[in-house]
Amino acid sequence: MKPNVTGIILAGGYGKRLLPLTETTPKPLLELKSGYTILDKQIMDIKYAGIRKAYLLIGHLGGKIKERFGQSYKGVEIEYLEEEKPRGTLWALSNALRHVRTDVVVRNGDVVSDINIKNLVLQAQKGEGLITIAVTKMQSPYGIIEFSDRKITSFQEKPILDLYINAGIYYIRRGAFPLFQKRYERKEVENTVFQTLVEERKASPYYEEGAFWRSVDGIKDLEMVRKEFEARNDKPWGYERVIVNNENYLVKELYIRKGFRTSIHYHPSKDESMHVLEGEGYIDFPKDKKRTNAGVGNVIRIEPKNVHSIVALENLRIYEYSTPHPEDTVRVKDYYER
């Protein structure tokens, strides 16, 4: 069942801290890897969450975004709202919400993330808040030092802190739309509508452990994200990353989002073992009508020609060790329009 939700992506910024790259390329069209941009990933993420219409709020070099995605992109209907000059996120969103008759998922166009949009929508629709804000743990930009009695007792280089920051992904109910049409002195939605909803206790958080997140604010951020995607191949259910590939064996990392599953498939020649690192799920063997638990620490062998599917009950991270047959997959049933 597809959610009755519209996507909105804020894709109009100048990206001044990414100059000279953004002189000729809008920030959302910066490539994560060859042929695959920030905006490609964002659109596909909302598609696989079941959202089939999106508004792209464009500005700087917006014509290049229109040229790339057109009126429909891989099954997602796209409409464009263009600013002639920047007016801030509040104006951009209030303008977009005038065109929408459903709840919305809003994304900042410079955020690269594996946050589970499908699960965010489900949680937000069950909750009572008018807005649900995805949050992520903050990484310190500096090394953290602890000391006692004039002696340094601990040094941690840029650790993940026990603090949460705005991840730039929001679920907004229609009941909140009138707040966006009010007059405010400030131009940013975070300091106006969101602040009002927080004060009225109508804002809820959404957090999931271990999901990759990075805001591409500058050149170093872009370099870090591109490194993340070097050997990574995004899938409807998450991603797979090749760690080792030689003549003797193949090692992959699989990340399957909660509520998703791989296709039902088999490998004619590949003999593989699944080592579960994080999360909870199971391996479904439909021909044998059995399931094998995939919990942390479990190792499950899957012999050649054994039809199976991996199902995630929580975000699931697996190391797959196998014989060296990287393209040796036959899909029996696929759950996604690829």
What are the structural domains of the chain? 5-228 (3.90.550.10), 232-333 (2.60.120.10)
In sequence order, which ranges of the chain are alpha helices (DSSP H)?
38-48, 62-69, 89-97, 117-126, 177-180, 193-199, 219-228
Which stretch of DSSP H or E encloses residue 330? strand 330-333
Nearest partner of 69 among 43, 51, 48, judged by Cα: 43
pTM: 0.90
- Residue 250 sits at the vertex; the CA angle it makes with 245 and 254, to the nearest 5 degrees, is 105
Report the pLDDT value the prediction gives residue 10, as an integer from 0 to 100. 95
Other CB atoms within 10 Å distance of the CB of residue 142: 9
Q: What is the residue-level pLDDT of the chain in tens, covering all 338 positions?
A: 567 899 999 999 888 899 999 999 999 999 999 999 999 999 999 999 999 999 999 998 999 999 999 999 999 999 999 988 878 899 999 999 999 999 999 999 999 999 999 999 999 999 989 999 999 998 888 888 888 888 888 888 888 888 899 999 999 999 999 999 888 878 889 989 999 999 999 999 999 988 999 999 999 999 999 999 999 999 999 999 999 988 888 999 999 999 999 999 999 999 999 999 999 999 999 988 899 999 999 999 999 999 999 999 999 999 999 998 767 889 999 988 87
Report the pLDDT value the prediction gives residue 2, as an integer from 0 to 100. 66
Q: Which residues are catalytic?
A: 158
Q: Which residue has the tokens 């700087």?
A: 60
Q: Do 312 and 260 meet the contact criterion of CB atoms below 8 Å apart? A: yes
Query: Strand 5-11 and strand 53-58: pairing?
Result: parallel
**Residue 325 one-letter amino acid:** H
